[in-house]
Every structure is written in structure tokens, then in C-alpha cells.
């Protein structure tokens, strides 16, 4: 999950090392505190209760009873290890060290190491239930390579966060084992669930071992030959095996598979610079964002197959929008941003981050959504874990990592992409630069940056102006230096910085109404409320008593009013709008009536919207993002 492009030849921008961005307060620091204090502990308990840890113990020759859960149980352990490792890297910040968590991490690493077989292989499902000769016989469905990828990601994160090599050595031994099996002149085949591709590139970046990059490229090239049986209506397209990666132009099939694959291909591009890969990625990205993305930055229109639908098939109620798909999309967009410097990727990442991803976890950090619809008729609540528990530990690693999306560097300066109170240590050329950022983002659009250490010499500070922002202004030491209309790009300031220089960015943050592409049938005639990076929704609980969310209407020219509510949902800005409740009594007995149907009488009401990410944290009532206008 953490990406290092510090040595990537084809990266436009370089990431900062783990730990070099420390959140100091505000929205994400609060999320990280809950992630550490509640979620990571809860995750460890659940991995124990659900059998994941016992499966590894069984593989190590200890443990009790039988293997439990689906074939990919190990991957949840690895995702948790990665999350906890990334959280340990946040110990340099105000949160401080967490020796108890560190002890849990070391205990689990020892368990993984004990499970590893002499030749480097690890997969508790195969070790417990199968024979060695069964390995790699069901690449389409059995997730051995997928689990390996998550091990590699965890190992890289742990090494970067702590400098310890123990898990990294385990990972390299397994990678060497796989490299001994697969590759040109060896066994052919691609994993049924992509993930190892991006993980092998990261393992290459961390170890310098080029065989790992080559193996990643091999798995990418092995895909698209129509060899996988696939699933249901999709056939091989379910596994993105219907067309070679370089020829793909549509995101199809299982959404998380497709998006992990795209992230891995972007990693390959960052190292190889192969234009055919970037061309394919840009075609896929256009298809994903201009035809198949929900407003929340969620992906996957269908429950069936956890899959992408047709272009413009974007139902609000029965969409899937798996939390893992939003995470995968962020991973992809972050790599595209690093490769190209195009702010559209940062905009798209931000849309998922604050909406379709963040809805995946409850405000208290111990309940999780797998599916994130944009409409509920009531009764939907987050469970505390899942039989297929891919999402909860994925949420944990994403939240632990979020500081890393804030800043990058190049030879000329520092780029700020996300806004959060944080200290940022960067290296520009040979200069050490330290920035202190303060902001109440996403609630307010004011960002205050103090240049604490300048490193001497001239360099450029760049601020992303989000695509949603129509008016931005930049101030240096109290004097305005840029402003006015923004075209959704970066505003820059190049100078010989002095310690204590203050740069302030003002992003106009008015609540706004958003209209859907008219090809999207499911939300025709409806509008959504957004403010800053946040998508809003109506929850039943906030409306006047007796209002059915099936019958609300929004005036298309409604005045929208934003207000901070300290007491609500952990503190949120609400948006209030003029609306109506339609009288639908004439329709009680009929679904269809002869046109024209006389306008229904509508009663004016105030509609109260809250941020989508915070929905379903109270009584599980009805909810809707898109509000009909008639």
C-alpha cells in the first residue's frame, strides 16, 4: 500500500519515506487515533476469534482444530500487519510510541515466520488442507499469489517503518520460492486475483532485487489470454483475463481485481516507462471515472460478482461499491498522480478517500461496511467483522497511511496534494525542508503552512487546487499573491524561502449541487449535495418526523446553508436545503398510470444533509445521496 517512488525512473513526483509526514491534529489525526486505539486492537482480536491466527499456527505445526474460513484468510493477517506497521511509523508524531501494539506485531510476525516452510512457501490453507504437490494447481480461485502479495506489502511496510528485516526476509524467501516456480521457461500462469504485481514491484523497490520486478512484469504479461474459467455472465473478463493488459480499454469484471491490477500496471509503468502500459491505463481510467464511478468514488455497480456493470449503470440502492474497491482505486490514482503529475488523479483519489472509502468504517472504529450503497431504505448497519473480512484490515492500513498522500517532491520543490494539520519533512535535491501545515480541512478551506526549515536556496511550493473549487487565493506572509478562478490545477510559489515564512491557501468551500450525466438512468432528475471534498446524504433521522425519504424532493434552485454541528456525528458541517415532500397517496395501488399524471401536491420542508461517510452511525434508517427534483 505504501509506495516509494524515490528511485522510480518514470515518476514525475517522488513519495516521502514512511514516517516523514506526521499528522498533528484535525480530521485525519482523529481517525488515526481511533484506528490505533480501537481498530487495530479490534482487528487483532477478530483475527484470533475468526481463526486466521490459528490457521497459521496449524501451518506451523501447532494450533488447534481445523482450518477455518475462506482460502485467503492469511491475507487478512498480512493486511493487519501492514496496518499496524504503518501505524508504528506514526509513532514519531504526537501520537507517540505504542509498545503494546509493537509487541502484537512482533508476535504475529513470529507466527508467520514459524509457518513458513523450508523452501519459503507460506499459505496456511494449502499447508493445512492440501499436499505440497497441490500448490499452484488452482491459480484462478485459490489466492496463493494474492496472499503472497499481501505478505510482501506488509513486509515492505514493516521494514520501512521499523528498519527490522525479519518479516522482509520471510517475504523474500517466499518471493524467491515463487520466482523459482513461475517465469519464462518455467511455469506459465497469472493469479486469479491480482495483488502480487504491485507488491513485487514494491519488494523490488525495497530490496533492489530486479528479479522481483521481472516477475511482476511476467504476471502482468501472462494475463489476458482467456485461460481462466471466470465466473457467470463475465467469463474470463471476471478475472480480467479476456484481453491482454496493453489492449484493454474498459474496466470490467470483479472490481477489486480490476483495480488492483491497474495499480500494479501503474507500478510497472513507474519502473519501466513503457508507453503502451500508460496508454492502456489512461483508457481504463477514462472508462472507470467517466462511465462507472459512483459520486462517492465507489466502484462496482453489482452485487452479483462484486463487479463493474455497464457504462452508466450506477444504481444508488443496489450498487456494491466495496470498501476494498475504493481503496484499490485510491492506490491506482495515487500511482497515476506520481507518474504524471495530473491533478485529476488527486481529485479522484480525494473523492474516494472522504466518501466511498471512509464510509467503510464506523465513527467508533469497530464496525465496517463491505458494501457502500448511496441509498438505503433502512435496516443497513455495519457489522463488526465478516466471514470474508478483506475490508476491515484494508481500512486500517489505509487510515494508518493517509499522511503519505499529503506531499511529494521533485528536484525543484514540494507538492501538497491533500490538506491536513501535519509536519512534513522533505528532501528537495540535497536540501532538508520542513513544513508545518495547519487546517480544519475538510470542514474549512483555509490552509496555513509555515516553512520551518528551508534548506537554503530557491525551491517551489505547489498547492493542489481541487477540481471542486472555483475560487482559490494564495497568501505569502499576509499578502495576496495569487487568486481568482481556479481551473483545477496546482498553484505554485517559487522563492528563496526564509524560516518562518507563512503561506496561506484559501479554497472557497460553498455547499453545491451536482448533476449526473443524463445517460445514468438510476439518478435521472436528481441532484446531490456536496461541499469541499465531501459528498452529502440525507438520513431519515435528521428530517422532520414522518418524512419518507422515498418522497423527498429538492428544489433545483435551493439555497444551501452550511453549519458546524459540534454535537453531531463527532462534529460535522451539515448542509440544509429547501425541499418538499411529495404526496404520493394516488400511487398507493399502482406502479403505472396513464400519462400525463397531474403534479403531486408537495409540502415544503427543510432537508438536512450530513457527510456521506458518517451515515449509519445512528439508528439504521433510510438514507439517500441523490435527491429527486421532481
Rounded Cα distance between 290 and 299, Å, is: 12
Q: Does 458 bind a second copy (CB under 8 A)?
A: no
Counting contacts by CB under 8 A, is residue 485 touching a second copy? no
- C-beta closer to a second copy: residue 247 or 586: 586
Q: Does 510 bind a second copy (CB under 8 A)?
A: no
CB of 405 to a second copy, least distance (A): 22
Query: What distance in Å separates the CA atoms of residue 287 and residue 349, rounded to the nearest whole number?
Result: 16
Tell me which residues in 355-394 interact with a second copy (CB under 8 A): 375, 377
Q: Select the residue interacting with a second copy from 17, 106, 214, 587 (CB under 8 A).
A: 587
Binding of a second copy by 516 (CB under 8 A):
yes
Question: According to the binding rule CB under 8 A, does residue 235 interact with a second copy?
Answer: no
Q: Which segment (13-21, 283-291, 410-418, 603-611) binds a second copy by CB under 8 A?
A: 283-291
Q: How far apart are CA 548 and CA 608, in angstroms?
A: 13
Residue 605 touching a second copy (CB under 8 A):
no
| Cβ-based neighbour number of residue 588 at 10 Å | 6
Interaction of residue 526 with a second copy, rule CB under 8 A: yes
Per CB under 8 A, 37 contacts a second copy: no
**For every residue of 183-221, which 3-state class applies, written as one string?**
CCCCECCCCCCCCHHHHHHHHHHHHCCHHHHHHHHHHHH
What's the closest the beta carbon of residue 315 comes to a second copy, in angstroms? 6
Give the chain's radius of gyration (CA, Å). Answer: 24
What is the size of the binding site for a second copy (CB under 8 A)? 61
If we measure between CA atoms, which residue out of 529, 534, 538 comes closest to residue 507? 534
Which residues, numbered 290-309, are part of the site for a second copy (CB under 8 A)? 290-291, 293, 295, 301-304, 309
β-strands 490-496, 458-464: how paired?
antiparallel
Do the bridges between strand 472-476 and strand 479-482 make them parallel or antiparallel, or are there none, so unpaired? antiparallel
Cβ atoms of residues 385 and 43 within 8 Å: no
390 is an active site residue:
yes
Binding flag, residue 432, a second copy (CB under 8 A)? no
Q: How far is the CB of 419 from a second copy (least distance, A)?
A: 21
Stretch that binds a second copy, among 97-105, 219-227, 316-324, 606-614 (CB under 8 A): 316-324
Contacts of 569 (CB under 8 A, 6+ apart): 363, 610, 611, 614, 617, 618
Least distance between a second copy and beta carbon 524 (Å): 5
First to last CA, the chain: 44
Comparison of 99 and 604: residue with beta carbon closer to a second copy:
604
In the block, cell 466471514 appears at 387
The DSSP code for 235 is B
- How many angstroms separate the CA atoms of 112 and 199, rounded? 18
Contact with a second copy (CB under 8 A) among 520, 575, 607, 610: 520
Helix axes 144-162, 166-181, angle to 10 degrees: 150
For a second copy, which is the closer residue by CB, 433 or 560? 560
β 458-464/413-416 pair status: parallel
Q: Cβ contacts of residue 532 below 8 Å, gap of 6+?
A: 441, 442, 443, 445, 466, 468, 469, 507, 509
Q: Is 163 in the site for a second copy (CB under 8 A)?
A: no
Strands of 421-428's sheet, edge to edge? 21-25, 421-428, 431-439, 446-453, 501-507, 472-476, 479-482
Tally of CB atoms within 10 A around 455 = 16
Beta carbon nearer to a second copy, 77 or 529: 529
Question: Smaller CB distance to a second copy: residue 149 or 516?
Answer: 516
List the one residue from 412, 502, 513, 568 that touches a second copy (CB under 8 A).
513
How many Å apart are CA 407 and CA 418, to the nearest integer? 7
> With respect to a second copy, which residue has the nearer C-beta, 569 or 605?
605
- Is 592 a residue that touches a second copy (CB under 8 A)? yes
To the query of whether residue 324 is one of the catalytic residues in this protein, the response is no
Site for a second copy in 556-585 (CB under 8 A): 556-557, 582, 584
Catalytic one of 324, 390, 391, 469? 390
Locate 143 and state its grid cell.
Answer: 489466492
| Binding residues for a second copy (CB under 8 A) | 233, 286, 289-291, 293, 295, 301-304, 309-318, 375, 377, 512-528, 550-551, 556-557, 582, 584, 587-597, 600, 626, 628, 630
- Active-site positions read 306, 390
Amino acid at each position: 500500500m505504501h509506495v516509494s517512488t524515490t528511485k522510480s525512473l518514470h515518476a514525475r513526483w517522488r513519495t516521502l519515506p514512511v514516517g516523514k509526514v506526521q499528522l498533528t491534529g484535525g480530521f485525519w489525526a482523529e481517525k488515526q487515533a481511533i484506528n490505533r486505539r480501537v481498530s487495530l486492537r479490534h482487528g487483532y482480536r477478530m483475527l484470533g476469534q475468526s481463526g486466521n491466527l490459528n490457521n497459521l499456527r496449524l501451518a506451523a505445526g501447532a494450533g488447534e482444530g481445523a482450518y477455518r474460513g475462506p482460502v485467503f484468510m492469511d491475507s487478512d493477517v498480512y493486511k493487519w500487519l501492514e496496518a499496524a506497521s504503518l501505524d508504528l511509523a506514526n509513532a514519531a508524531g504526537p501520537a507517540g510510541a505504542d509498545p503494546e501494539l509493537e509487541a502484537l506485531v512482533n508476535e504475529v510476525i513470529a507466527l508467520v515466520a514459524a509457518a513458513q516452510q523450508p523452501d519459503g512457501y507460506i499459505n496456511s490453507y494449502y499447508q493445512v488442507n492440501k499436499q505440497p504437490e497441490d500448490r499452484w494447481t488452482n491459480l484462478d480461485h485459490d489466492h496463493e499469489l494474492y496472499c503472497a502479495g499481501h505478505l510482501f506489502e506488509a513486509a515492505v511496510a514493516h521494514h520501512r517503518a521499523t528498519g527490522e528485516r525479519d518479516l522482509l526476509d520471510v517475504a523474500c524467501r517466499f518471493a524467491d520460492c515463487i520466482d523459482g516456480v513461475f517465469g519464462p521457461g518455467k511455469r506459465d500462469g497469472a493469479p486469479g486475483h491480482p495483488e502480487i504485481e504491485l507488491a513485487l514491484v514494491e519488494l523490488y523497490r525495497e530490496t533492489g532485487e530486479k528479479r522481483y520486478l521481472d516477475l511482476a512484469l511476467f504476471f502482468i504479461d501472462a494475463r489476458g489470454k482467456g485461460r481462466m474459467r471466470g465466473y457467470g455472465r463475465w467469463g474470463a473478463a471476471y478475472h480480467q483475463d479476456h484481453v491482454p493488459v496493453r489492449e484493454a480499454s474498459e474496466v470490467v469484471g470483479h472490481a477489486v481485481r480490476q483495480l488492483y491490477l491497474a495499480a500494479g500496471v501503474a507500478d510497472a509503468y513507474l519502473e519501466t516507462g513503457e508507453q503502451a502500459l500508460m496508454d492502456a491505463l489512461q483508457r481504463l481510467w477514462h472508462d472507470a471515472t467517466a462511465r462507472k464511478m459512483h459520486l462517492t468514488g465507489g466502484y462496482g455497480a453489482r452485487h452479483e460478482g462484486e463487479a463493474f456493470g455497464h457504462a452508466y449503470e450506477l444504481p444508488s440502492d443496489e450498487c456494491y461499491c466495496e470498501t476494498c474497491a475504493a481503496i484499490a482505486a485510491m492506490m491506482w490514482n495515487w500511482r497515476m498522480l506520481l507518474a504524471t503529475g495530473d491533478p485529476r488523479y488527486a481529485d479522484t483519489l480525494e473523492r474516494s478517500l472522504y466518501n466511498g472509502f471512509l464510509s467503510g468504517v464506523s465513527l467508533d472504529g469497530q464496525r465496517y461496511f463491505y458494501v457502500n450503497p448511496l441509498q438505503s431504505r433502512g435496516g443497513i448497519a455495519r457489522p463488526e467483522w465478516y466471514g470474508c473480512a478483506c475490508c476491515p484490515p484494508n481500512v486500517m492500513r489505509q487510515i494508518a497511511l493517509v499522511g503519505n498522500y499529503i506531499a511529494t517532491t521533485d528536484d525543484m520543490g514540494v507538492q501538497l496534494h491533500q490538506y491536513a494539520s501535519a509536519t512534513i519533512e522533505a528532501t528537495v535535491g540535497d536540501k532538508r525542508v520542513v513544513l508545518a501545515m495547519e487546517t480544519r480541512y475538510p470542514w474549512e478551506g483555509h490552509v496555513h503552512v509555515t516553512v520551518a526549515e528551508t534548506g537554503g536556496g530557491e525551491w517551489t511550493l505547489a498547492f493542489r487546487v481541487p477540481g471542486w473549487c472555483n475560487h482559490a487565493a494564495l497568501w505569502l506572509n499576509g499578502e495576496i499573491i495569487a487568486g481568482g478562478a481556479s481551473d483545477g490545477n496546482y498553484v505554485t510559489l517559487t522563492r528563496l524561502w526564509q524560516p518562518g515564512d507563512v503561506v496561506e491557501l484559501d479554497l472557497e468551500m460553498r455547499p453545491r449541487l451536482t448533476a449526473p450525466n443524463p445517460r445514468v438512468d438510476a439518478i435521472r432528475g436528481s441532484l446531490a449535495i456536496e461541499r469541499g471534498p465531501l459528498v452529502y446524504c440525507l438520513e431519515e433521522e435528521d428530517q422532520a418526523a414522518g418524512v419518507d425519504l422515498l418522497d423527498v424532493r429538492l428544489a433545483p434552485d435551493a439555497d444551501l446553508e452550511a453549519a458546524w454541528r459540534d454535537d453531531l456525528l463527532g462534529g460535522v458541517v451539515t448542509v440544509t436545503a429547501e425541499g418538499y415532500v411529495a404526496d404520493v397517496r394516488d400511487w398507493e395501488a399502482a406502479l403505472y398510470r396513464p400519462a400525463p399524471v397531474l403534479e403531486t401536491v408537495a409540502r415544503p420542508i427543510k432537508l438536512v444533509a450530513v457527510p456521506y461517510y458518517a451515515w449509519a452511525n445512528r439508528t439504521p434508517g433510510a438514507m439517500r445521496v441523490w435527491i429527486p427534483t421532481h
